[in-house]
Structure 1
Amino acid sequence: MTIFAVTGCAGFIGSNLIDRLLKNGHDVIGIDNFSTGQNRFLEEASLRCNFRLVNLDLLDLDGLKLSIKGCEFVFHLSANADVRFGTDHPRKDLEQNTIATYNVLEAMRSNGIKKIAFSSTGSVYGESPVIPTPEDGPFPIQTSLYGASKAACEGLISAYCEGFGFQSWIFRFVSILGERYTHGHIFDFYQKLKKDPSCLAVLGNGKQRKSYLYVQDCIDAIMLAVEKADEKVNIFNLGVDGYVEVNDSIGWICQELGVSPRLDYSGGDRGWIGDNPFIFLDTKKIQALGWRPKFDIEQGVIRTVQYLKNNEWVFDTRGGQ
């Protein structure tokens, strides 16, 4: 079995990936500084003898070099995913995304580790003129600091593959939904409706078109790509064959919560600076490997709401951010 390191191991996607790797019998080193990650997400993992947790900030390069010593493959999922408030603290995207990724690559190089899977984003396409957007679509001007920092990360990873013989799997996600979800529109809407079920403030006009993917389908795709794709740099879009309006998502959320609020729209055709009003990725490449999502967007939204209903403690720990 392979020895994996997973950065961002106490986060939404990272903790779900940890559980999958451990279930498959692998040894896993989990790394997180718990700035947003949750210890409770690692309760099951912590009971396993093949899991070791390291509380570490990725900006600590020397500590990172020691932490991943002996592993064979790095899943780099740690990041600042705060797209909406990126302009309030632009240095955070640089440090937590780009510099942290550089540190991961350098720690790998010093330990002779050659394989990395990276969680990028569909935001690197900016407001693409090609819909659905393929992996080889044009890279337009970046519209968010988050997307720009992730594009820089992709460039670093590709350069290390060329310069130092690394192999990479880069995954450009749509928004991910499901159990342990702790930020995003469902989180925000749920929290607002809990405070006032009679009115829901909506950033934008509600007609923004978005695509989403259930977290276990996401992990299925990641594991399949790592197993079957063997290029030097492997880039995959991950999403479903479709999209919904924000209004559709609001309808499913409200139905699940049993509320009928007045909708108070603001902000025109987008919710904030860098908000892409239409995100829909072409996923033919990952599907060619045999992957198909098991859940559609509506099912993903409902499962997420149900998780939040059963785990309202996450609102106290995240504070809505």
Structure 2
Amino acid sequence: MRYFITGTAGFIGFHLARRLLEEGHEVVGYDGMTPYYSLRLKEARNAALTQFPSYHSVMGMLEDGGLLRDLAKAFPPDVMIHLAAQAGVRYSLENPKAYLDSNLIGSWNILEVAREIGVGHLMLASTSSVYGANPDVPFREGDKADEPMTFYAASKKSMELMAHSYAHLYKVPTTAFRFFTVYGPWGRPDMALFKFVKAMTEDQEIEIYGEGKMSRDFTYIDDLVDSIIDLSRIAPSEENRVAEIDTLSRQAPFRVVNIGGGQPVGLLDFVETIETIMGKPARRKMLPMQQGDVPRTFASPDLLVALTGRKPETELKEGVAAFLDWYRQHQHEIG
């Protein structure tokens, strides 16, 4: 099959594209190489993908609708997977316009392209941040999700709503999947695991927000990729509706699915896991909750399991160990 993936120089896009290429699929990758974090890391990911003859790399911004359209028409995909976005919860407090341009205007361009080419399945990366500070756990796809705590979360929920309207109007089968704190090798430098390991390696303090009282439902990258590929084979339709828990729309071939294991870990337990694997204590700097942070994330994986037969299962200590092995091999290359 041919997959069109945005954000292939990013953390998740890289892993997904590499897995599909290893399985013999063709991948058209689109990435803007924005300097939100280390370009050296993004270039290293892209270089690894270009070793595959069935990978086609194109540099471009999501805001360039003409380039996206021309590329999709030149390489008509079976599945489009939209992962590219302005990421980061905290950065949205500093530069909200970047989220408007990328996550709203850019995502609208993707919807337009999907409509024009009549793609068989459009998949969109959303986030657990849309649940805000929901006190009811675990978070279920049908829960109220209209009280975003950051503009990042608001931009992602807005993308979901725009996509539903296009699925209804133009019958584009669409799956929006919500990530829960993804981690692993080749991860983003602004995420907690990367920051903590880097600081501890350099004998620097690690900053622990919320006095360490927060918890997160961590998802290992390989599990996430498994779930995305599984879901890519299940374009939403009445033929694959599952029981009462399905979020399949009554008006459109549109579905929202959590991708998370439903096993939240306390922040201090997370730090202790890193300390154990690294064999050294962290110098902890306890700080209050940051603006826009939520106290917990906790996925209900029930719909994912009903659709695919499995959910993320990798234990935290195994995933952290894999990241540490990767970091020690590559820390001098990626800066």
TM-score (norm: length of structure 2): 0.88
What residue identity is the alignment partner of 1:4? Y
Aligned to 1:283: 301
Partners of 1:303 and 1:211 lie apart in 2 by 18
The match for 1:68 is 72
Query: Does 2:176 correspond to 1:170?
Result: yes
Displacement over 4 Å in runs of 4+: none
**Partners of 1:14 and 1:107 in 2: CA distance:** 19
Do 1:6 and 1:31's aligned partners in 2 also have CA atoms closer than 8 Å?
A: yes
CA RMSD of aligned residues (A): 1.7
**Residue in 2 aligned with 1:40?**
44
- Contact conserved, 2:79 with 2:232, CA < 8 A, in 1? no
Deviation at 1:229, TM superposition (A): 5.2
**Aligned equivalent of 2:54, options 50, 69, 78:** 50
Q: Match for residue 257 of structure 1?
A: 278
CA distance in 1, matches of 2:332, 2:103: 27
The alpha-carbon distance between structure 1 residues 257 and 315, as it changes in their structure 2 partners (threshold 3 A), is: farther
For 2:170 and 2:269, how far apart are their aligned partners in 1?
47
Quick check: 1:252–1:302 contact (8 Å CA) kept in 2? no
| Distance in structure 2 (CA, Å) of the matches to 1:173 and 1:24 | 23
Q: Which runs of 5+ in 2 are unaligned?
A: 238-252
Pick from 110, 113, 118 the counterpart of residue 116 of structure 2.
110
Q: Which moved more, 1:119-128 or 1:181-190?
A: 181-190
The answer (yes or no) to whether the contact 1:211–1:297 under 8 Å persists in 2 is no
Alignment of 1:71-86 (within 5 A): 71-86=77-92
What does the per-residue CA deviation read over 1:72-92, in whole Å, with 9 as the maximum and x for residues that have no partner?
Answer: 321100011121121111111
Deviation at 1:116, TM superposition (A): 0.9
SS class of match (2:138): coil
Q: Which sits farther off after the overlay, 51-60 or 287-296?
A: 287-296
Q: Out of 158-167 and 108-117, give the one that drifted further.
A: 108-117
State whether residues 200 and 283 of structure 2, in contact with CA within 8 Å, keep that contact through their aligned partners in structure 1. no
For the 8 Å contact 1:128–1:140, the answer to whether it is kept is: no
Q: How many residues align?
A: 311
What is the distance in 1 between the residues matched to 2:12 and 2:141? 22
Question: Hey, what does 1:319 align to over in structure 2?
Answer: none
* 1:236 match: 257
In structure 2, C-alpha distance between the alignment counterparts of 1:84 and 1:315, rounded to whole Å: 23
* Counterparts of 1:314 and 1:91, CA distance in 2: 31
What letter is aligned with 1:65? R
Distance 1:211 1:294 in 2: 11
Aligned partner of 1:123: which letter? S
- Percent of paired sites with the same residue: 26
| Aligned-residue offset at 1:51 | 1.2
Partner of 1:136, secondary structure, is: coil
Does the aligned pair in 2 maintain the 1:116–1:169 contact within 8 Å?
Answer: yes
- Structure 1 residue ranges without an equivalent (≥5): 317-321
Distance in 2 separating the partners of 1:144 and 1:315: 30
**1:287, CA displacement in angstroms?**
1.1
SS in 1 for 2:27: strand
Moved more, 108-117 or 136-145: 108-117
- 1:177 positional shift: 1.1
Q: Does 1:295 align with 2:301?
A: no
